[in-house]
Amino acid sequence: MNAQDTTRRSLLGGAAALGLASLTLDGTARAAARPRARRRFDGMSVLITGATSGIGEATAKAFAAEGARVGFCGRRVSLGRRVEHEIREAGGDATYMRADVREPEQIRAFVDRMADRHGGIDIAFNNAGVGSGKLLHELTVSEWDDVQSTNVRGVFLALKYEVEHMLKAGHGVIVCTSSSAAEQARPNGGAYTASKRAVQGIVKSAALAYGPHGIRVNAILPGTTDTAFVRPPGIPDADWAAYKKAFGPLNIDGLERMAEPQEIARAVLALASDDFPYMTGASVAVDGGSTAGRKMVRPAGA
C-alpha cells in the first residue's frame, strides 16, 4: 500500500469514526461534517410531565432523537398534539396524553397507560411546574396552593406511580425539575422557592428509599431559561432579543446569558444516561453560574 492509499484509508476510517456523512475519493475530501447521531436511549420508555412547551418539549425531542419511546403530558391539548406531531415527523416515537399533575387519577392513568404501551418505564422526567412572582403578603392562599400543588404534589404523584413500575422492573432513573431558585431566593419568589426546595427534599428521600432497588433519583436546577416561563406573552421577537441581551450580564454572573431549553435538555439526558451510574440524590445546577455566587460591586469612591 502506498502513502496515498494509506492517507485515503485513514481519511475514510477517521470519517467513519466521526460519522462524517460523505467523503469522496477524488482527492478532495468533501466531508459534510455531520456528527454521528448518538442513540443512548434506543427502545427505552421515557415518561415526561409538562412537555407541551419549553424545557419539557426540548427534552422530549432530544430523547426521541436518541431512539427513546416518549410518553408525555401537559394540559394544553393543541400544543401536546403539535409536539407529538413534530417528533413523529422527525422519525421519533412520541405519545401525548392530556393529564394534570395535580390530579391523582389523571397522573396514575397517564403513567399506567404509557407503561402498558411501552412495556414499563425506564426513565421519568418530572418537569411540570408553574412560577409565582408575588411578595408573600400579596399572594392569595389559592395562588400559594396552586404553586405547591403543581410543583410539589405533582412531583410526588408522578414519582409515586412511576416508582411502582420501576420497583417491579428492578431498575429506573428519575430526574425532577427543581430550580436555581431553590438555592437563590428572591423577595417575590417565596412560594416558588419553597416548592423547588421541596422537590429537592423529595428527591433526596426517594434516592435513599429506592437506591437499593436499582432506581436513581436526581434533581436538576435550571437557571433562567428562555421559555414561556420567563418570556412575557406577546412580546415581539426583536424586543425579546434585546431584553435577553441586557438581562444576562445584569443577572447571571458567570456565563452572563439565559440558557436555551435545549441546553437544559442535554443535561437531563446526561443525568438519565448510563454515564452517571453512581449519581443519586444529587441537585445538579445547570444555571450558567448563577448559584455560584455574585460579583462584588464596590460603591463609588471605595
Q: Which of 192, 210, 243, 278 is catalytic?
A: 192
243 in contact with ligand NAP (CB under 6 A): no
C-alpha grid cell for residue 1?
500500500
Query: How far is 195 from 37, CA to CA, in rounded Å?
Result: 37
Query: In the complex with ligand NAP, which residue's Cβ is closer, 51 or 68?
Result: 51
177 in contact with ligand NAP (CB under 6 A): yes
Kindly write out the interface string for residues 146-175 of this chain, putting x where it contacts ligand NAP by CB under 6 A and - elsewhere: ----x-------------------------
Q: How far apart, in Å, are the Cα atoms of 190 and each of 82, 179, 277?
A: 34, 13, 34
50 in contact with ligand NAP (CB under 6 A): yes
210 part of the active site = no
Q: How far apart, in Å, are the Cα atoms of 2 and each of 5, 7, 75, 214?
A: 5, 9, 65, 54
100 in contact with ligand NAP (CB under 6 A): yes
Q: How far is the CB of 285 from ligand NAP (least distance, A)?
A: 10
54 in contact with ligand NAP (CB under 6 A): yes
200 in contact with ligand NAP (CB under 6 A): no
Instruction: From 10-18, 51-59, 202-210, 248-256, give the range in contact with ligand NAP by CB under 6 A.
Output: 51-59
Q: How far is the CB of 299 from ligand NAP (least distance, A)?
A: 31
Contact 21, 45 (CB under 8 A): no
3-state secondary structure of 226: coil
Name residue 34's amino acid: R
Contact 35, 210 (CB under 8 A): no
Whose CA is closest to 95, among 122, 78, 108, 113? 113
DSSP state of 38: P
Which one of 61, 102, 165, 216 is in contact with ligand NAP (CB under 6 A)?
102
As a whole number of Å, the end-to-end CA separation of the chain is 73
Whose CA is closest to 155, among 114, 188, 197, 113? 197
Q: How far is the CB of 102 from ligand NAP (least distance, A)?
A: 5
282 in contact with ligand NAP (CB under 6 A): no
Which one of 44, 46, 52, 67 is in contact with ligand NAP (CB under 6 A)?
52
Q: Determine the size of the site formed for ligand NAP (CB under 6 A).
A: 30
244 in contact with ligand NAP (CB under 6 A): no
Query: In the complex with ligand NAP, which residue's Cβ is closer, 51 or 217?
Result: 51
Residue position matching grid coordinates 415518561: 47
Active-site amino acid positions? 192
